[in-house]
């Protein structure tokens, strides 16, 4: 990781991080994949800049091609060369370099992220819990059985009970809406510092859902409902789906 001057941990800033790695088993070079001619990382960055409650937005990458693209377009970017298991682990590395008290992890594959969803998450975020995760209500459709889409069940206090790539809860008798977990997280500095120190448990390994690391270690994850289409890009088919969505409004 490239060293800069030490961060001001007392700074009351809210920073948006966009983890964007080059290598992906499902979609190599995804951050620079073009959606109607515009690379995905630029679309995410520009949407995040529209959020009123973010003081700054920073791309976090492991790749010089992404860094070069961002630098030429005055998009703030930090190269973190350390191996990171998840995007949140990459965010935890970045806070060693960045001022702020709250940090929002915004997925680099959410080109249509609603800026108001980011603002809502920040506004409802409970500092006493220190970890909040956005979700949206989804009616039964292709997403329910898409293992690239993470589902979440929560209790009456809006705390996460479990995350899974399988359809949960199981609708035994009738169709019902389910909660789609979005890759949109808000952390206090303290909880983001704690995250990489926690053991990676069996459930996180099995589901490949990083928020399970908090649950397995006995921490709460606050769920915050937001309004968003929840159109993430994990495959080329997803990218085409986003283009179709955009073209429908043009």
Q: How far apart are CA 9 and CA 43, in angstroms?
A: 29
Give pLDDT, residue 1.
38
Give pLDDT, residue 19.
95
Supply angle C-alpha 108, 113, 114, rounded to 5: 155
Q: How far apart are CA 33 and CA 155, in angstroms?
A: 38
Cβ contact 230:180 at 8 Å: yes
pLDDT, one tens digit for every residue, the chain (250 residues): 333 445 666 578 999 999 998 877 667 888 998 989 899 999 999 999 999 999 999 999 999 999 999 999 999 999 998 889 999 999 999 999 999 999 999 998 899 999 999 999 999 999 999 999 999 988 656 788 888 889 999 999 999 999 999 989 887 777 777 899 999 999 999 999 999 999 999 999 999 999 999 999 999 999 999 998 878 887 888 888 888 888 887 6
3-state secondary structure of 137: strand
Cβ contact 84:62 at 8 Å: yes
Q: How far apart are CA 227 and CA 231, in angstroms?
A: 12
Give pLDDT, residue 188.
97
Domains and CATH numbers, the chain: 14-247 (3.90.550.10)
Give pLDDT, residue 138.
81
Q: In the chain, what is the straight-line distance between the N-terminal and C-terminal CA atoms, in Å?
A: 42
Cβ contact 213:163 at 8 Å: no
Give pLDDT, residue 177.
79
Q: Of 149, 137, 146, whose CA–CA distance to 177 is shortest?
A: 137
User: What are the backbone angles phi and psi of residue 39, rounded to the nearest 5°?
Assistant: -55, 145
Residue 30 per-residue DSSP state: G
């Amino acid at each position: 990781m490239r060293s800069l001057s030490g961060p001001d941990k007392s700074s009351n800033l809210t920073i948006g991080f966009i983890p964007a790695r080059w290598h992906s088993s499902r979609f190599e070079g995804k951050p620079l994949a073009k959606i109607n001619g515009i690379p995905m990382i630029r679309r995410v960055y520009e949407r995040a800049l529209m959020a009123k409650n973010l003081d700054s937005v920073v791309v976090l990458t492991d790749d010089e091609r992404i860094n070069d693209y961002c630098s030429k377009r005055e998009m703030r970017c930090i190269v973190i060369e350390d191996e990171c298991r998840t995007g949140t682990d990459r965010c935890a590395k970045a806070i060693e370099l960045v001022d702020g008290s709250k940090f929002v992890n915004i997925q680099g594959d959410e080109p249509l992220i609603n800026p108001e969803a980011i603002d809502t998450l920040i506004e409802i975020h409970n500092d006493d819990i220190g970890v909040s995760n956005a979700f949206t209500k989804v009616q039964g459709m292709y997403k329910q059985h898409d293992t690239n889409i993470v589902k979440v069940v929560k209790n009456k206090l809006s705390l996460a009970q479990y995350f899974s790539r399988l359809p949960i809860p199981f609708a035994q008798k009738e169709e019902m809406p389910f909660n789609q977990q979005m890759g949109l997280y808000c952390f206090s500095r303290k909880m983001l510092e704690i995250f990489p120190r926690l053991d990676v448990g069996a459930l996180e390994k099995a589901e490949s859902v990083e928020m399970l690391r908090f649950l397995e270690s006995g921490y709460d994850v606050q769920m915050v409902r937001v309004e968003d289409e929840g159109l993430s890009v994990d495959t080329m088919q997803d990218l085409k789906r986003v283009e179709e969505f955009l073209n429908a409004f043009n």
